[in-house]
Amino acid sequence: MLKTLTLGICLASPFAYADQCPWMPDSRINAAYPDRAPWTAMVGGPGRCKFVCDQRKASSTLSLTQMVKATPQEAEAYVVTVARGMAETYQVKPVNVIGKAGVAMREDSAPNSRMLSLIGHQRNIVVMTQLSFYGGVNEAQQAKAQELTTQTFAIDTGGGLRMP
């Protein structure tokens, strides 16, 4: 009994002590993807938040990352560079709703591939949204991710995240 209780606490503890995302409440993620709710912030802080779906359901994650570049030109160049690099191994398609250089990147050509990454920019703000859904990310779920990406452009996330 004690071993079972200890194991249960260990398995649950990463999410029991997770940081909340100070700029993107779980409720927005729950509203976007109610079939996988409740969502919990696994990592939360300035510029980046990662969410995980209810542990009793098939594993799904979503992360939002905002980077502030010095100029709009630098932001666009960053998005173009990432898209070109990903095009070597991923299917890359334009998504103008998340910026002039915005793209969606999927791990294969299937419309419901498990992983989807979006990257775009507005002014000098770059936002990258990454989803990994058990069973794949369909077009409706991609549309919701595009909405979250667009919302993240306008949010003060604590700014200036610098990726290594």
Rounded distance between C-alpha atoms, residue 68 and residue 97, angstroms: 19
Q: Is 8 within a domain?
A: no
SS3 84: helix
Number of domains in the chain: 1
pTM: 0.84
What pLDDT does 5 receive? 35
Residue 2 lies in a domain: no
Is residue 12 situated within a structural domain? no
Range of the domain at 33: 18-153
Helices (H), 17-71: 26-32
The string of pLDDT tens digits covering residues 12-62 is: 434 443 468 999 999 999 999 999 999 999 999 899 999 999 877 778 999
Give Cβ neighbours of residue 2 (< 8 Å, ≥ 6 apart): none
The C-alpha atoms of residue 102 and residue 28 are separated, in whole angstroms, by 22
The domain that holds 45 is classified in CATH as 3.40.1000
Q: Is residue 160 part of a domain?
A: no
Q: Which residues contact 133 (CB under 8 A, 6 or more apart)?
A: 36, 60, 114, 116, 141
Tens digits of residue pLDDT in 99-156: 999 999 998 766 667 899 999 999 999 999 999 998 899 999 999 999 999 999 999 8
Residue 90 lies in a domain: yes
Which residues lie closer than 8 Å to 48 by C-beta, 6 or more apart? 63, 64, 65, 66, 157, 161
